[in-house]
Amino acid sequence: MCGIIGIASSKLVAQNIIHSLKKLEYRGYDSAGIATIVDNEIHEKKCTGRVDNLEKLLFKNPSKGSLGIGHVRWATHGIPSQLNAHPHSSDEVSVVHNGIIENSTLLKKNLEEKGYKFKSQTDTEVITFLLTDFLKSYDLVDAINKTLKALNGSFALGILFKKYSNIVVGARRGSPLAVGYGPEENYLGSDSYALKSMTNKITYLDDGDVCILTNNKIEFYNSENKKINKKILTLSEDKQFTDKGDYKDFMSKEINEQNITAKTCVKEYVDQLRKDINLYNFPINPKDIEKIVLIGCGTAYHSCITAKYWFEELTNIPIEIDIASEFRYRKINFNNKNLYVFVSQSGETADTYAALDLCKKNNVKTCSIINVVESSIARSSDFVLPIHAGPEIGVASTKAFIGQMLVLFILAIKISEIRKEINKTDYENKIDDLQKLPDLIKDTINYCQDNTPIIAKDFIKAKGSMFLGRGLSFPIALEGALKLKELSYLHAEGYPAGEMKHGPLALIEEGLPVVILAPKDRYFEKTISNMQEVIARGGKVILITDEDNKIISENVRFTLKIAKTNEYLSPFLMTIPLQLLAYHVAALKNCDIDKPRNLAKSVTVE
């Protein structure tokens, strides 16, 4: 989950590397570094902390050179420190790396026996010395190939060579890497977002690919070392999403953009005149689907749990949900009449991509619901459904979660219609509801914006908190607890409200904050009964509901109202006060809202 940038140019590159690293900080921010070639020598500078620290270092002692690589780190091997920061350099080679080398311990032992002295605790330094060693006996291309074949695990690499002082080399296996094209300079980056300020012409490396960049030429080689051509993509402009504008941070901006996300998504998929959903080219005839398997991690997994309820209500298709990191290690009975749906914000989530790759190897039909249409998961899927949220910069997902749920809901409605499991009137009513959703989201943001800062104060000194819901509110309770953990570093757990008597009720004590999600749905009365059990044991209840009945609010510390809607749309509205609550608790604790500790946006390692 680190960020890589490389530039081969005819002019000085340090400033552009720093600018790109700032854009890559959502991938890691415990240390940063840069290496350039100056007078046929490798010059390396690195530091702990943010890219701002590296920028200050360069201000005092500038890095010259028209060839360079840079890195922001999310620690996997070794504590955050200057020694463990990338690049890792020998006299001959400098390397930046995203991923994990699984056989690094054995490789390190072999290299130490040859006399190499390791300075860091990282697995990356192994790559540096392997290349250095192979270059003693082989030319550049053979040395690179032998190094890559020796590595087990996942990696994206950016490499500089003292001897070959006009090139930057990139290589990929398992972790994403993009190449950008510019006038008199070419680029290497972990993703297109880091390169967009310099170019909109992008090529993505596939597993096993190697690229060699000079300032005016790019060559690609596949895993068999055969020279290949790669397709060049033109990226769309999305500057309005990558600027905070008048907002204090990206997360508050992205929370407030959720009505726009919903509006854009609905507009892309819904034909208002014909009252129909535009989904074509299914990889499998929906009438023939025997089972749908929904797969994701973290927030994306919560969207899958939510979708299970929708699919089961609207269709007769059996639904299975799976955590991506578990899926590939279980014994799976693959069936070519099943549809395997993969949900990911970045489209680069390592566990999700690995599960997709397993499905592809077993020749089953796949669909991806993603936010980045150029991503690895999108490119490998039979069918792609973008969520149209625009770039999400805050590490804790908000608008992407809304977008994922919305596309899953749209997919459930359309499959139900094709299979004739929903009548025409109900189908058109669901489409009408979709068109009303953006305004309902906006109303709910407005309702909750002013009240949540007051409620947030109750969480500051609490030793934990609970989030309870039933039915469609249960996965939203899970997501609310996750948001609070991610942003404020406070312990929180989400539970089905009906499970309280089976263990979790033992945790309730005087003053414990308990968030109850109780929309006026079929579970409403039972959820309120569970709430009373919490109140009777001294829990401090925050009730989130669309019900006006004042009686249910007796002995409730706070009630947050959401806009009135039907049961199917309640997850979208229930999500918003939980996002705002987590945000304001974190703000009161002076936490870094956009970059929570130990987390990164694009999870590209297992």
Catalytic residue ranges: 2, 601
List alpha helices for 521-569, DSSP H: 524-536
Distance of alpha carbon 226 from its chain centroid, rounded?
A: 33
Prior bond to 183 cis, omega within 30?
Answer: no
Q: Could you check whether the bond before residue 318 is cis, i.e. omega within 30 degrees of 0? A: no
Pairwise CA distance, residues 468 & 453, whole Å: 21
Compute the distance between CA of residue 601 and CA of residue 595 in angstroms, rounded to an integer.
9
CA nearest neighbour of 427 among 288, 271, 319: 271
Q: Within 13 Å of residue 519, how many CA atoms lie on the same side as its CB?
A: 24
Nearest to 156 by CA among 1, 328, 36, 378: 1
| Residue 38 exposure: Cα atoms within 13 Å on the Cβ side | 13
Decide: 330 and 369 in contact? Cβ < 8 Å: no
**Residue 571: count of CB within 10 angstroms of its CB:** 30
Question: What distance in Å separates the CA atoms of residue 84 and residue 31, rounded to the nearest whole number?
Answer: 8
End-to-end CA distance of the chain: 10
Length of the chain: 606
Task: Indicate if the alpha-carbon torsion angle 528, 474, 307, 444 is positive or negative.
Answer: positive
What's the DSSP call for residue 174?
Answer: B
